Amino acid sequence: MTTPSIYRDLLLAHARHPKNSGRLECPDLRASAFNPLCGDELELTLALSEGTIQDCKTQVRGCSICQASASMMTELILAKTLQEAGKISQVFTESLSKDTEEIAESLDSLRPLIALKKHRSRIKCMKLAWDALEDCARQNET
Amino acid sequence: MQNSLLTAKVREDFPILKRKIHGHPLAYLDNAATTQKPNCVIDAIVTFYEKHNSNVSRGVYTLAEEATEIYEDGRESIAKFIGAADSGKIIFSSGTTESINLVASAWAQPKLETGDRIIVTEMEHHSNLVPWQLVAQTSRAELVYWPFNPENEKSGTARLDLQKLDEMLKDSAKLKRKTRLLAVTAVSNVLGTVNPIAEIVKIAHAHGVPVLVDAAQAVARMPIDVSGWDCDFLAFSGHKMYGPTGIGVLYAKNERLEEMQPFQGGGGMIRQVERQTSTWADAPQKFEAGTPPVAEVSGLAAAVEYLSNVGMQEIQQHELELTTHALKRFAEFKDLELYGPPETNSRSGVLSFNLRNVHPHDIAQVLDESGIAVRAGHHCTQVLHKRLGIAASVRMSVGIYNQISEIDRLFSALDQARDIFLA
């Protein structure tokens, strides 16, 4: 039986065995995101050291795409500054809305995810973790 | 008419069913969200714009008279379709949501006082919950929930317990709390439960409580008889009964119509306008400010005629056959959790479920790859989903054109979801 094109192996691997899953006990920053369309929820906890993300975890109640996106995001932002992570999030968001197929080098590992952007109904699923990340970045600014 | 004969004939009338999705014939099983449109409905809308388009009740020229006739004839056919004594009780709105908001603003709001109660059930769609929350908050009234039975309850899984309603109404009376309204759905858009509206109305009326019925799901699934049910209000949408979007209906009894204040102000709903004040047109025009959706009414009237020709009893029977088959299939799989009554009695073809350890969105996506359209999410019933202890579910909902083979295709595609996500 063929696997539908939308579920590439890498995404499924992340969805089945998500990286950095759970909650940090004493996070420096914490943000939740909610998808009102389907009721999915996600919590992101971050530990910072001089502005750099030392550790991060996501607690996800969501679909495989939401889960995979959260897992890939945590891998990508670890050891980066929160500012850099915020910038990646911005570029990621832009890559979802743009018609162009061009994908920034910094987002190379997210290619399978970005390939799903033609399924417009799933963009919110992909974005949930990143919404929480942007929330954390805003909290840090204030 | 036998199921297969009815479907074969009916399917010819729906052009969209010829579409292929990802190379597969479309199996449209999301009829609780919206139904597809037969040619006669599409033609009625096209004909209106091609031949009769003009505003209603505002001109004496030929086109204006034709448009007015189409609009008022539509009101007549709706009245007949739901068993209303006359068309003066039929108000056109944009849909079920607006119909319910109309009752909340124009009828309930002026009556509600601090401490009053509105009873709703846990199985209501947000459109029959949030309007009541809004007016209750403004008036410091209270929303009280009439719960449905848990699984394996003696009086039926996912059923409303009539005795419980009687007790709730007695309790309110004891506490000297006035219950202003009971708002209840005729058919749950998630559980598929068909509620015994006539009996519910009887109990509520015995306590002097008016009843609003959300018939959004019921109207295309069973014969509706507002006179027999004796409900005070009934709301439904055109697009869930094979008609167009943007049109809905509110039926209201005369006594209630007389109590209703204007909803929106504007043209068409007035008698006389002075500089500071105005007087109102009689119902139903009093509640139809602005240019009404005439083309949509002509489409809705065509849908009503279509449903009447097929026969609501036949449609109900057809749906029962599909539901019986689906319930049998569900029982085959231990990893499928079905919500709602497990028996066909007083149950419609709205079937919500979860496949253990697979998210509803992922299931819906895999089904789409096989050309099967179902809904995944909370279906605008977050209170109901929380009560069930779940965030979301997959919903298959059958319609007039569905076939047993399409239900079987869904179960085959579920195997594919198992392969992908649970391998």
Query: Which pLDDT value is given to residue B387?
Result: 95
Spell out which residues of chain A touch residue B419, defining contact as CB-CB under 8 Å.
Answer: 1, 3
Tokens 């909803």 belong to residue:
B263
User: What per-residue confidence (pLDDT) applies to B4?
Assistant: 64
Q: Are residues B96 and B138 in the same domain?
A: yes
Known catalytic residues of B are: 380
Looking at the partner chain, which of A16, A38, A119 has a beta carbon nearest the beta carbon of B392?
A38
Q: Which of B392, B419, B421 faces A64 most closely, judged by CB atoms?
A: B421
Residues on chain B touching A32 (C-beta within 8 angstroms): none
Question: For residue A63, what are the CA distances in angstroms to A66, A92, A122, A135?
Answer: 5, 19, 10, 21
Which of B377, B416, B421 is nearest residue A39 as measured by Cβ atoms?
A: B377
Three-class SS state of B151: coil
B359: chain A residues, CB-CB within 8 Å: 62-64, 66
Q: With 90 as the cut, is the pLDDT of residue A98 above it?
A: no
* One domain for residues B206 and B331: no
Inter-chain touch B391–A38, beta carbons under 8 Å = yes
- Name the domain boundary from B309, B344, B372: B309
CB–CB contact A38 B416 (8 Å): no
Same domain? For B203 and B262 the reply is yes
Question: Are residue B19 and residue B104 in the same domain, yes or no?
Answer: no
Contact B362 A63 (CB under 8 A): yes
At residue B363's C-alpha, the angle toward residues B398 and B157, to 5°, is: 55
Domain that holds residue B18: 3-30+312-422
Span A105-139, pLDDT tens digits: 888 889 889 888 888 888 999 999 999 999 999 99
Q: Same structural domain for residues B274 and B336?
A: no
Query: How high is the pLDDT of residue B104?
Result: 98
- Chain B CB contacts of A39 below 8 Å: 377-378, 382, 385, 391-392
**Domains in chain B, number:** 2
Q: Which two tokens stand for residue A17?
A: 């065995």
Q: Cα(B323)–Cα(B307) distance, rounded to whole angstroms?
A: 20
Give pLDDT tens digits for B185-194: 999 999 999 9
Give CA–CA dist A76/A74, Å, rounded. 5
- A-B contacts (CB, under 8 Å): 54
Q: Is the pLDDT of residue B45 over 80?
A: yes
Burial of B249 (0-12, 13-18, 19+ CB in 10 A): buried
Which residues of chain B neighbour A116 with C-beta distances below 8 Å?
Answer: none
Task: Choose from A38, A43, A67, A120 for mutation: most chain B CBs within 10 A.
Answer: A38
Q: How far is B399 from chain A (nearest CA, A)?
A: 24
Helix or strand or coil: residue B290? coil
* pLDDT of res. A115: 86
The verdict on domain A9-137 having CATH code 3.40.50.10470 is: no
Q: Taking a C-beta distance cutoff of 8 angstroms, is the pair B42, B298 a contact? A: no
Q: Considering only the beta carbons, identify the residue of B369, B385, B392 that sits closest to A4.
A: B369
Residue B5 pLDDT > 80: no
Q: How confident is the model at residue A2 (pLDDT cuts 50, 70, 90)?
A: very low
- Judge: A1–B416 Cβ closer than 8 Å, yes or no: yes
Minimum Cα–Cα distance from A63: chain B residue: B359
Question: How is chain A split into domains, by residue range?
Answer: 9-137
Q: Looking at the complex, report in whole angstroms how far the Cα of residue B244 sits from the nearest Cα belonging to chain A.
A: 23
Q: Coil, strand, or helix at residue B232? A: coil
**For B226-275, how does the pLDDT look when each residue is reduced to its tens digit (9 = 90+)?**
999 999 999 999 999 999 999 999 999 999 999 999 999 999 999 999 99
Rounded mean pLDDT of A82-94? 93
Q: Which residues in chain A touch residue B392, judged by CB atoms under 8 angstroms apart?
A: 38-40
Looking at residue B53, what is its pLDDT? 96
CA distance B159 to B341: 7
Residue B378: list chain A partners with CB under 8 A. 38-39
Between CA A118 and CA A120 the distance in angstroms is: 5
Residues of A with CB under 8 A from a CB of B: 1, 3-7, 12, 15-16, 37-41, 61-66, 119, 122, 125
Question: Does the residue B39 lie in any domain?
Answer: no
Same-domain pairing of B127 and B190: yes
Q: Note whether A56 and A19 are within 8 A (CB).
A: no
β-bridge partners, B182 = B119, B211
Determine the average pLDDT of the residues in A23-45. Answer: 93
Residue B295, pLDDT above cutoff 70: yes
pTM over 0.80: yes
ipTM for the assembly = 0.83
Instruction: Provide mean pLDDT across the span B333-351.
Output: 95
pLDDT tens for B106-148 read 999 999 999 999 999 999 999 999 999 999 999 999 999 999 9
Q: Are residues B324 and B279 in the same domain?
A: no
Is the predicted pLDDT of residue B67 greater than 80, yes or no?
yes
Mean pLDDT of B154-175: 93
CA distance A14 to chain B (A): 12
Within this chain, do residues B147 and B102 fall inside the same structural domain, yes or no?
yes
Identify the pLDDT of residue B14. 98
Q: Domain boundary at B260, B278, B309, which?
A: B309
**Which of A1, A4, A38 shows the shortest C-beta gap to B361?**
A38
Question: How close, in Å, is residue B368 to chain A by CA atoms?
Answer: 10
The verdict on B373 and B362 lying in the same domain is yes
Residues B80 and B166 in one domain: yes
Query: What does the pLDDT read at residue B8?
Result: 85
CB distance B377–A122 less than 8 Å?
Answer: no
> Same domain for B227 and B147?
yes
On the question of pLDDT at B49 being above 70, the answer is: yes
Question: Using CA atoms, how far apart are residues B358 and B16, in angstroms rounded to an integer?
Answer: 30
* The pLDDT of residue A142: 76
Give the closest-approach CA distance of B388 to chain A in angstroms. Answer: 14
The predicted pLDDT at position A3 comes to 46
Q: Does residue B139 lie within any of the structural domains?
A: yes
Whole-angstrom distance, CA of residue A51 vs CA of residue A62: 29
Contact B420 A12 (CB under 8 A): yes
CA dist., res. B95 & res. A138, Å (int)? 40
Domain end residue (candidates: B260, B279, B309): B309
Three-class SS string for B6-38? HHHHHHCCCHHHHCEECCEECEECECCCCCCCC
Q: Provide the β-strand partners of residue B252.
A: B233
Instruction: Return the pLDDT at A4.
Output: 52
Distance from CA of B369 to the nearest CA of A (A): 7
At residue B149, the pLDDT reads 92
**CATH code: domain of residue B346:** 3.90.1150.10
Cβ-based contacts of A65 with chain B (< 8 Å): 361-362
Q: What is the CATH number of the domain that holds B186?
A: 3.40.640.10
Please state, rounded to an integer, the average pLDDT across all residues of chain B: 96
**Cβ contact B362–A37 (<8 Å):** no
Residue with tokens 């005369």: B254
Residue A1 has pLDDT above 60, yes or no: no
Is residue B297 assigned to a domain? yes
Does residue B318 share a domain with residue B303? no
Contact: B382, A38; criterion CB under 8 Å:
no
